[in-house]
A and B are shown apart, each in its own frame.
Chain A
């Protein structure tokens, strides 16, 4: 096979953050770096992917051995402060393994937090950047786009991303075990700090309709209330409004309980037994742990929420096995497509298809016009043959010229235009 896909890079497993930050490319250098990798001898297509957990060069190259060396040198040369044993941190994937790696990265199977959703967006962005400077071509185009669709499939067909792995999303997940839906529900945020605002934002994003905000410094509550279109209430009187809240978030720096068992007990009576979900995000804790003993009150502190996310991570690992199976299947399909993308088989397929059409049509005509002499039949045969050959002459000559940079483009175009693809690759 003439072109080979390869990936040279490092990630959070092979290199510590101290190494990764030295290899990482600044955003401003990226376009230029993409151009220079693309310009390396033997490299036909290239795209650099650089997130906080990985630096990778994805390339399609002739003579992959040499290309790997050149890409490695390139990575070394890019560093202002060279890592002495860079090669120890680098991995190289080629051919089918490279496809598999790219599909796994896109599906978030190679992430530090398996199933985290950001990586797909980042990958799309880095591909677009490489494409914008003309560093990519047909193969990387198909390969990346296939990776995106595989990631989408993994997301919808497995539970890999279905579970909360941050404290805020764990709070939402739990709220949905208590309440059927969050639409129409009211939440109260006690403490307008960063942590509390984050949790409140998550709840609002999942449908919570009303947000009551209180803070010791009232101005901060007003400010945040404006952002959330909520209602600020003074800290001294927040208990008066507590019965309105289905969800209460505690996120103050107070060193004693801002919410006692007795207060919640009275509020529950006022709420006529409708449940209340208390989320205590503070250390030291803001809510009296005794609240959890009250009927219809559910209290989760920061450790409890962390416990939820930990369990979910375990579950993700299980779902990851299903995802791996999907990836394996898709890699084979893509590998088959890539294998077909060669000059000789494409010309043969093109000729066979044209010949089959010609024969079919000729026979149909000869069946209708029966009183033809053998000479006339031969003439018809020659005529149709000549038309087909002349039509195919130009495209086949183009393919045979073997202009390396554009070869895959024409191969792919012809395979698609003449519908020469196999049944398993659409």
Chain B
């Protein structure tokens, strides 16, 4: 019995030390001299500053994603999550940007589990990944819980295929979106680079 108590106390002390220690750099060992981060030897980008956190993903829809939760927002402002992600295989099929945008929202796969009805998206041409891209923005409404979500999607190209960057921010229906979070998303998109040809480019023998 005494031994059990001793162990518990020791663990508690260790935990206290962990809290007091300065936060470890989650990108240690991945940083380049240019200030970017190399991810899985495939992508290079400037990661968003804290409180953005890297999300752990167990699905193929997203290749890398970040979020900031309610703990990073003023109290009483629920829902309050913001996320953004790079997706190698965005919903839809077309290799044409405008058509892919139409499919992306028409197929109702994006945020499908949240039962969201999207307003018709607005879109404009921008540059991303060194080429022409399309930035679409819309607001989705979850009418049962009375939540809304700001969604911004950048459709760009990797070789022949369309890839995408997603941003979402949840708020109560009568709340206000914090568009300052979009700045971190924009910077992520602007700095995002590929380190090597994609699987599909290699498949077809492109260099």
- The answer to whether A and B come from one shared complex is no
